[in-house]
Amino acid sequence: MSSLVISQHIEITPGICGGNPRIAGHRIKVQDLVIWHERMGMSPDEIIYHHPTMSLADVYAALAYYHDNREEIRRQLEAGETFAKQLQGNKPSLIEKILQGENASQD
């Protein structure tokens, strides 16, 4: 029964969002909700406040999907972080420059 409920809220479509699980009818990936909830400390209510086209059931289904598929979602998160680091190269971020006391406007 629970997988039926989750499948009403979560879609996996090749070619959309890299084939990663996402909220049905949206381009918001399950891993995005995991970041907002676990890393940024947003409650499900706060998430739907910022994304009012999603329902509370969508958020809870995404979190349930994550808890049922932790390793898969964590691999997706790590792949995204690795890709971002590759794009950044050896250039420090604006925050790193500020923390190092550099004038960020010199670039």
pLDDT tens digit string along 43-89?
A: 999 999 999 999 999 999 999 999 999 999 999 889 888 888 888 77
- Does residue 51 contact residue 28 with C-beta atoms inside 8 Å? yes
Query: Which tokens hold the place of 56?
Result: 């509370």
The secondary structure element, H or E, covering residue 68 is helix 56-68
Please say if the pLDDT value at position 1 is more than 70.
no
d(CA 35, CA 38): 5
pLDDT grade, residue 100 (50/70/90)?
confident
Q: Report if pTM > 0.85.
A: no
d(CA 10, CA 59): 10
